[in-house]
A = this chain, B = another copy of it.
Amino acid sequence: MADIDARFGRVRPAPENFLTAEQIVAVKDGRRDFLRKAFLAASAAMAVPAAVRAAGEGDPAILNLPPWSTSLGLPVAANPYGMPSRYERGLRRRESPGLTRVGGSSVAFTPLQGLFGIITPSGLHFERHHQGWHDVDPSKHRLMINGLVRTNAVFTMDDLMRLPSVSRIHFIECGANTGMEWGNVAVPTVQYSHGMISCSEFTGVPLKEILDMCGADYKQGRYVLAEGADGSSMTRTIPMELIESGEVFVAYGMNGEMLRPENGYPLRLVVPGVQGVSWVKWLRRIEVGDKPWATKDEAVHYIDLMPDGLHRQYTSVQECKSVITTPSGGQLLLDKGFYNISGMAWSGRGRITRVDVSTDGGINWREARLETPVLSKAVTRFNIGWVWDGKPAILQSRAVDETGHVQPSYGQLRKVRGTRSIYHNNAIQSWKVVESGEVSNVQVL
């Protein structure tokens, strides 16, 4: 087993409930026919150890097989809409206690520490509401187009779902993601530090198609207002260039099915690369105008206080960022040896071109392997091997995007932005590993 030990420490012995003592010996001897032999041996009563014989009834029981190997299981469609295993119940969206006064204007974070790949399960998509969420009746929902257009129009969902359709994988990140880390508030886990990002395949109608149909005045109408149907009447201004690029679309689908109610069912705006607040949920109106609206949620909120006392306002793009999701804060390394370090990288400016990983707090860096597909304005999954020697270590990841933007350290970011911001924190995240194997959130300038 030497080669295995070298790779990732001991291989645990086979458990009683899977193999009998005879079978374990047979496995070690590498006998191909051990199952038959063990079975025959076990079947001969005299050969059956008391403990094993006591364990069960009949041959399968004598072989000590688990119930799922010896019985007829549940039928198909027992769950017409399937759910995760009961053993995964701990992996759930969680609200940060006391973050806001009411859950209707709060955040539920995605448990990144337990997720893989680039697609976020829709059931675990992060939530951020301004006046709670409703399960809107799609037969009553409408999208109105007005303003600087030749023809005002009101679309039903049936109308929209007949129009030219696109499907694209994009990340959505709340501008306030990692916002609690500007100072020295180090939240314990990656769920709370980075859990306001999700990545899904969205399906819908390019907004340009809809505006063309209504004869939008692209000369005068350089902005659109997107308005949601929720109680907060969320409104945001979107520059017309983004819509003319064809990237912005009105989505009804997410990860193959209709949007989930908490994510804007039946209709939301998709604005790739831009902070989540502009992806207006329960979208009910698009107005074309000749100047920005300076709405409450862009003029008063979603602004940052700079070191010079001025406000940083009308920010939108989510800059190049990455984070290691395993191992991460709150997790425990059981013993020395090989570990797969895995994480996510993304940029609101395009594709991720490179992710480097350090295990010594930024002194040495190694280039991680990027999983395919690597898509523009989508999450990219990276992996790299690491043999832990049992000594203290600091794990970091640093992403680079196709514009050449390199993810900054906290020192570099604070030099420009100070420590009193809320939004657009894309600094390098550090996880500290101590001898006990415990992993915790630390800040390295």
B88 touches A32 (CB 8 A): no
Quick one: CB contact mask for A322-344 with B, threshold 8 Å, 1 for yes?
Answer: 00000000000010011110100
**Complex formed: what's the CA distance from A32 to B220 in Å?**
14
Determine whether A159 belongs to the interface, using a CB cutoff of 8 Å to chain B: yes
Could you tell me the distance between the alpha carbons of A367 and B69 in the complex, rounded to whole angstroms?
49
| Complex-state Cα separation, A425 to B136, whole angstroms | 41
Residue A106 at the chain B interface, CB threshold 8 Å? yes
Q: How far is the CA of A18 from the CA of B285 in the complex (A)?
A: 11
How far does the Cβ of A260 sit from chain B's closest Cβ, in whole Å? 5
A200 (CB) vs chain B CBs: closest residue: B119
Partner of A117, one of B77, B203, B231: B203
Do B73 and A166 touch (CB < 8 A)? no
Beta-carbon contacts under 8 Å, A369-384 to B: 371-373, 375, 381, 383
Cβ contact within 8 Å between A81 and B256? no
| A309 within 8 A of partner (CB) | no
Q: Does A218 contact B (CB under 8 A)?
A: no
CB neighbours of A103 from chain B (8 A): 75-78
Q: Is the CB of B82 within 8 A of A95?
A: no
Residues 84 to 99 of chain A near chain B (Cβ within 8 Å): 84-88, 91-95
Query: Is the CB–CB distance between A117 and B381 below 8 Å?
Result: no
For the complex formed, measure the closest distance between the CB of A288 and the CB atoms of chain B, giving whole angstroms. 9
A window 136-171: CB within 8 A of B: 136-140, 142, 144, 146-149, 151-156, 158-159, 161-169
Assuming the contacts A15-B142, A73-B132, A117-B201, asked whether A231 and B68 have C-beta atoms less than 8 A apart, the reply is yes
Among residues of B, the one whose C-beta sits closest to the C-beta of A154 is: B14
CA distance A412 to B104 in the complex (A): 59
Known: A70-B231, A81-B124, A166-B383. A76 touches B159 (CB 8 A): no
Could you say which residues of chain B place their CB within 8 Å of the CB of A44?
A: none
Cross-chain contact B116 with A151 (CB below 8 angstroms): no
CB distance from A149 to the nearest CB of B (A): 7
A165 pairs with B340, CB closer than 8 A = yes
A58 at the binding interface (Cβ < 8 Å):
no
Q: In this assembly, does A107 line the interface, its C-beta being within 8 Å of a C-beta of chain B?
A: yes
Interface 9-residue window, one of A5-13, A395-403, A435-443: A5-13
Q: How far is the CA of A342 from the CA of B165 in the complex (A)?
A: 8
**Is A115 part of the binding interface, using a Cβ–Cβ cutoff of 8 Å?**
yes
Most buried by B among A73, A78, A79, A258: A73
Instruction: Report Cα–Cα, A128/B77, bound state, in Å.
Output: 10
Q: Give per-residue flags for A54-75: 1 if the beta carbon is below 8 A from chain B beta carbons, else 0.
A: 0000000000001111111111
Contact A257 B340, beta carbon cutoff 8 Å: no
Could you tell me if B140 and A18 are in contact, using CB atoms closer than 8 angstroms? Answer: yes
Interface pair B84/A258, CB less than 8 Å apart: yes
CB distance from A23 to the nearest CB of B (A): 9
Interface residues of A in 412-427 (CB under 8 A from B): none
Question: In the bound complex, do residue A203 and residue B104 qualify as a contact, i.e. CB atoms below 8 Å apart?
Answer: no
A261 to B87, CA, bound (A): 10
Asked whether A11 and B154 contact (CB < 8 A) given A17-B140, A94-B80, the answer is yes
Residues on A lying within 8 angstroms of B by beta carbon are 1, 3-4, 7-8, 11-15, 17-19, 27-28, 30, 32, 34, 66-88, 91-95, 102-104, 106-108, 114-125, 127-129, 131-140, 142, 144, 146-149, 151-156, 158-159, 161-169, 201-203, 213-215, 229-231, 233, 253, 255-258, 260-262, 265-266, 282, 284, 287, 289, 334, 337-340, 342, 371-373, 375, 381, 383, 385
> Which 6 A-B pairs give the minimum distances between C-beta atoms?
A75-B103, A73-B132, A68-B134, A117-B167, A76-B108, A80-B92
Task: Pull 22 A–B residue pairs with CB atoms less than 8 Å apart, ordered by A.
Answer: A3-B215, A4-B214, A12-B156, A14-B154, A15-B142, A17-B140, A27-B152, A32-B287, A71-B134, A73-B133, A73-B231, A75-B103, A79-B262, A81-B92, A82-B262, A84-B257, A117-B167, A118-B201, A118-B256, A121-B256, A124-B257, A164-B340
